[in-house]
């Protein structure tokens, strides 16, 4: 819990890295455990199939052995002296009985000599009296009647060899009923003692280095022979549980006995009512697989750790610029317009072809700060320019109420005395003054700004009479474009004061407005003395302040106001030739509300 709380206080990068590492290691362990279980099941099944084939080979060997012993028993029983064994009840006396007894001894000895796996042969009468005992070695037991109880255990209807008795450290005894070849009646019994090593040797050869236990178990769960490589405290319990599980059709079974995981395989033998049983520890089968799993986990964790380190390095390379951007945004929020993020070098960009997304984020942030700073400075300069203009206008103005009242008095006196020219001049002057000192809005329509210029021209036409001619041609759609207030009037004023007053003869002022590619182009032309080229540059570079009159506003200031309020697409240009006249062109962009730019023409 403390570790979780600690992670909550760390950066997102650290939390993601730790979560990724834990997820990868957990996934590897879970996947390894799952794959180990699948592989172990597969290996166990393959081992069980292989051992099943081995047990089948052992069973075929046992069948061959038992068929050989059975064949010897049948040859013994078919002998005429054996068929008359009931006539040899001990004690043996008489020449005929002695001869027959001698022949039986020779027959039994020849069978033992021919079949080394048979080490003992005993013949009995039908009443169970021992007639003849032939051995390859002396019996160690002092009880000579130890084998008489098997007669009661034999199934009278069974034909062939039957397992009757034999402790694990003694011979394996098989018995057969001797029947009359004519009427199939019981004549006596034959008991064969088989060397136990015959079975155990075959088991050892087939099992090899399995490191498990192999058993041949009778139907009564007694061990006939065994090959042991692992000890059990209660071996009979292990065998009982294994045989109990073998009752179904599964190829193999698993069980846990004495703190051991065991794999058991039971195979019923066809020659006798016996069972071949293998008990193998699972670690013997899956031991190498476990070591391989450990090695796989170690390799996978190592690869994961290396991948995690590479991912951590990569994530730091990604997060570092983001952290820088976040820090720069915080500084910018506090009013620092000089903050910048580190951008990739030109060499790094040339190597990769294009900057990556993170580098693009830093670059975009820097461009955004620069644009905001530029807009802020631009707006600040605009405010300063407007303040300067206001100061210039206020310096040339009287108190507005006093001026309006005075002009109203002059206007009504002129109307009363019938002096129309004076009343027209006063009215135009009132409208012009009201527009110059009004501060309600910076942008007006071209139609409104043209009215200010017309008021000024009305005054000038009364002053100069027929000497001044005015021609106005504007496309109706141009009239809806927005323009900084008092833009056309100063241009007209400059045309009269600096172009026409220095020229003799008739004067002309032409104001035209057309649409060109969606832009409104307004031109103010005169037929004055013109402007020399070097003077044109001085005017646009604001080096004409000394020539300004009381109400003059420089063309350089107009150009700056035009671009500050309408953008860089708005321009003011001068076209002039000496003694031929001057044309000042205004280009207004179409991206303001109220402009209809569907048509373009050259004027009407």
% of the chain beyond a pLDDT of 70? 74
528 within some domain: yes
Q: Is the pLDDT of residue 13 over 70?
A: no
420 within some domain: no
Check residues 577 and 525 and name the one with the higher pLDDT.
525
- Domain end position, chosen among 251, 266, 294: 294
Alpha-carbon dihedral of residues 586, 591, 596, 601, nearest 10 degrees? 40
108 within some domain: yes
Q: From its phi and psi, is residue 403 left (phi > 0), alpha (psi between -120 and 50) or beta?
A: alpha
* Cα atoms in the Cβ-side hemisphere of radius 13 Å centred on 277: 30
CB-neighbour burial class of residue 540 (10 A; exposed 0-12, middle 13-18, buried 19+): middle
- Domain end position, chosen among 247, 271, 294: 294
Q: Is the pLDDT of residue 68 over 70?
A: yes
Report how far residue 253's alpha carbon sits from residue 201's, in angstroms, rounded to the nearest whole number.
26
pLDDT for the residue 473: 94
Looking at 136-186, list the stretches that DSSP marks H as alpha helix, in order from N- to C-terminal side: 150-153
Report how far residue 89's alpha carbon sits from residue 298's, in angstroms, rounded to the nearest whole number.
80
Q: Is the peptide bond before 263 cis (omega within 30 degrees of 0)?
A: no
Phi, psi of 98 (to 5 degrees): -65, -40
pLDDT for the residue 390: 65
Least confident of 88-92, 373-377, 424-428: 88-92
Joined tokens for residue 191 = 């008991």
Report how far residue 246's alpha carbon sits from residue 266's, in angstroms, rounded to the nearest whole number.
6
Q: Is the pLDDT of residue 189 over 60?
A: yes
Least confident of 51-65, 329-343, 385-399: 385-399
45 within some domain: yes
Query: Coil, strand or helix: which one is 548?
Result: coil
Count of the separate structural domains present in the chain: 2
587 within some domain: yes
CB-neighbour burial class of residue 361 (10 A; exposed 0-12, middle 13-18, buried 19+): middle
Mean pLDDT score of the chain: 76
CB 425 within 8 A of CB 458: yes
Please report, for the domain that includes residue 77, its CATH number.
Answer: 3.30.450.20
541 within some domain: yes
- Domain end position, chosen among 263, 294, 325: 294
Report how far residue 319's alpha carbon sits from residue 11's, in angstroms, rounded to the nearest whole number.
10
Q: What is the mean pLDDT of residues 567-577?
A: 90
pLDDT for the residue 598: 44
44 within some domain: yes
pLDDT for the residue 519: 94
pLDDT for the residue 152: 61
- For residue range 140-165, what is the model confidence (pLDDT) as tens digits? 443 445 455 666 666 665 555 666 66
Please report, for the domain that includes residue 557, its CATH number.
Answer: 3.30.565.10
pLDDT for the residue 570: 92
The one-character DSSP state at 212 is S
Joined tokens for residue 415 = 């109307």
Q: Per DSSP, which regions of 218-321 are E strands?
A: 223-227, 253-257, 260-268, 275-281
Task: Determine the structural domain holding residue 585 and report its residue range.
Answer: 466-604
């Amino acid at each position: 819990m403390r570790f979780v709380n600690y992670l909550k206080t760390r950066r997102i990068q650290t939390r993601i890295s730790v979560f990724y590492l834990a997820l990868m290691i957990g996934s590897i362990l879970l996947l390894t455990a799952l794959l180990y279980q699948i592989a172990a099941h597969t290996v166990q099944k393959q081992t069980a199939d292989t051992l099943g084939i081995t047990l089948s080979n052992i069973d075929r060997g046992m069948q061959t052995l038992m068929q050989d012993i059975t064949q010897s028993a049948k040859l013994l029983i078919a002998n005429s002296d054996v068929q008359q064994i009931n006539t040899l009840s001990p004690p043996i006396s008489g020449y005929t009985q002695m001869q027959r007894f001698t022949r039986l001894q020779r027959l039994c000895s020849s069978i033992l000599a021919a079949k080394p796996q048979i080490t003992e042969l005993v013949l009995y009468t039908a009443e169970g009296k021992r007639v003849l005992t032939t051995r390859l070695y002396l019996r160690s037991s002092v009880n000579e009647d130890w084998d008489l109880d098997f007669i009661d255990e034999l199934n009278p209807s069974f034909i062939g060899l039957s397992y009757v008795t034999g402790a694990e450290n003694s011979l394996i005894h098989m018995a057969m009923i001797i029947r009359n070849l004519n009427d199939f009646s019981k004549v006596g019994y034959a008991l064969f003692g088989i060397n136990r090593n015959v079975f155990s040797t075959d088991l050892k050869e087939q099992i090899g280095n399995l490191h498990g236990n192999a058993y041949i178990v009778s139907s009564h769960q007694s061990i006939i022979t065994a090959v042991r490589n692992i000890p059990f405290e209660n071996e009979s319990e292990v065998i009982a549980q294994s045989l109990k599980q073998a009752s179904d059709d599964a190829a193999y079974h698993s069980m846990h006995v004495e703190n051991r995981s065991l794999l058991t395989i039971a195979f019923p033998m066809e020659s006798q009512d016996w069972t071949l049983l293998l008990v193998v520890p699972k670690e013997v089968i899956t031991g190498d697989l476990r070591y391989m799993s450990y090695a796989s986990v170690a390799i996978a964790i190592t690869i994961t750790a290396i991948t995690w380190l590479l991912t951590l390095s990569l994530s730091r390379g990604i997060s570092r610029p983001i952290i820088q951007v976040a820090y720069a945004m915080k500084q910018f929020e506090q009013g620092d317009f000089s903050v910048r993020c580190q951008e990739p070098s030109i060499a790094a960009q040339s190597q990769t072809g294009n900057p990556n997304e993170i580098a693009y984020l830093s670059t975009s942030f820097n461009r955004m700060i620069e644009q905001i700073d530029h807009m802020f400075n631009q707006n600040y300069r605009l405010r300063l320019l407007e303040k300067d203009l206001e100061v210039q206008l206020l310096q040339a103005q009287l108190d507005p109420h006093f001026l309006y009242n005075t002009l109203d008095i002059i206007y009504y006196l002129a109307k009363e005395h019938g002096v129309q020219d004076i009343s027209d001049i006063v009215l135009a002057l009132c409208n012009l003054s009201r527009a110059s000192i009004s501060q309600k809005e910076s942008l007006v329509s071209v139609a409104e700004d043209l009215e200010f210029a017309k008021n000024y021209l009305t005054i000038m036409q009364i002053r100069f009479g027929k000497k001044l001619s005015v021609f106005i041609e504007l496309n109706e759609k141009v009239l809806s474009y927005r323009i900084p207030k008092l833009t056309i009037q100063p241009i007209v004023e400059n045309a009269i004061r600096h172009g026409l007053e220095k020229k003799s003869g008739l004067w002309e002022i032409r104001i035209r407005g057309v649409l060109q590619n969606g832009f409104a182009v307004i031109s103010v032309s005169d037929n004055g003395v013109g402007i020399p080229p070097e003077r044109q540059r001085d005017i646009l570079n604001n080096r004409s302040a000394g020539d300004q009159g009381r109400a003059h506003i420089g063309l350089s200031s107009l150009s700056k106001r035009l671009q500050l309020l309408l953008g860089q697409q708005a321009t003011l240009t001068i076209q002039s030739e000496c003694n031929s006249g001057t044309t000042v062109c205004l280009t207004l962009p179409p991206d303001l509300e109220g402009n209809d730019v569907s048509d373009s023409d050259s004027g009407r």
